[in-house]
A = this chain, B = another copy of it.
Amino acid sequence: MHRIGIDVGGTRLKVGRVVDGQVVVRAADDTPHDFAQMIEVLARLVRRVVPEGEACTIGAGVPGVFDEAMLGVVDSPNLRFLDGQPLREALSAATGAEVRLGNDASVAALAEALHGKGREYPTFLLATLGTGIGGGLIFDGELWEGTAGMAGEYGHLSAASAFVPEDIPLCNCGNPGCLEVYASASRMTERGRARTGQADIELPELAKRARLGDPVALSVFVDAGRALGEGFAQVVQLLDIRVLLLGGGAGAIVDLVRGPLIDKVVQRCAGRTHSAYTVDRAELGNDAGLLGAAALLS
């Protein structure tokens, strides 16, 4: 039985056949923003990676909020055409395979647990810093998905208290002060542009300047680190876990946020010192979603 992972993104659909934690055959295409067409494209991509006439199981990582039975997505800001559609059933009918859906960040955490940094850390939160902030929780090597696959929404923890009495910005989810508004890659870039006055500066250049000691560039990462720490303090209070892995577009800036991040956690969580915490970069890159999705049915 071949094991197929699907990564459903806002712009690209990626499909891969996975053997021993490696993608051995892959196929990809643009994401058509229409449900029936997307199913058609996915079925075609699956046929490309599975030898003809052979059976497979499919795990698909999808951004968004699932219904209780995890048959489909009820709220997906970047893939609105998926809302309320029977994704699992349609994909299964089009491919003849058993299908399981998972949250995109949760399956990335599962991949990291099985094939990446998780081999070193049995229990961790993976946060993916990109357009927004996703998250996945691994307890003793196992993915915790929650009642309907929505666990790990680190980006929507409240981080406003780190910045009182500053004005509290609104998150895309409609609430004030979510961590995401302070520390997603997009918002860090935005803040860097505002503070430097350069409308086209990108995150890697900001990071480079910060590493050279530029105080304006540094301030962007200090603020992001503080917010990430405020959010992680809540995770520590609730779960007493000690490891935070950063992935996604901004995983590379872990060296710049680590200090203020851990300072904030130590300030908020009694009885544990700096050395108790590990903030590290996730190991798997773009394949994390695929690899983790493929592992959903194992």
Chain A residues packing against B (C-beta within 8 Å): 64-66, 68, 74-75, 123, 135, 137, 139, 144-154, 156-158, 160-161, 164-165, 168, 173, 175-177, 230, 233-235, 237-242, 267-272, 276
Contacts and interface: CB of A to CB of B under 8 A. Distances in A.
A-B CB proximity, top 7 nearest: A146-B240, A65-B271, A75-B271, A150-B240, A153-B237, A151-B240, A156-B237
A237 B105 CA distance: 13
B234 A145 contact: no
Contacts of A271: 64-66, 74-75, 150
A147 B168 contact: no
A164 B168 contact: yes
Contacts of A240: 145-153
A224 to B, nearest CB: 17
A75 B168 contact: no
Nearest to A267: B175
User: Taking the full assembly, how many copies of this chain does it contain?
Assistant: 2
Contact of A173 (B68, B154, B270): B270
Nearest to A149: B240
Nearest to A171: B268
A238 B158 contact: no
Contact of A239 (B137, B165, B233): B137
A40 B14 CA distance: 65
A274 B163 CA distance: 31
Contacts of A146: 239-241
Given A147-B240, A238-B235, A240-B148, A161 B176 contact: yes
A269 B157 CA distance: 10
Nearest to A273: B74
B137 A144 contact: no
Given A147-B240, A147-B241, A242-B147, A268 B156 contact: yes
A238 B151 contact: yes
Nearest to A271: B65
A243 to B, nearest CB: 9
A164 B159 CA distance: 13
A233 B174 CA distance: 14
16 contacts: A144-B239, A145-B240, A146-B240, A147-B242, A148-B240, A149-B240, A150-B240, A154-B238, A156-B269, A160-B160, A161-B175, A161-B176, A164-B177, A173-B270, A235-B238, A238-B239
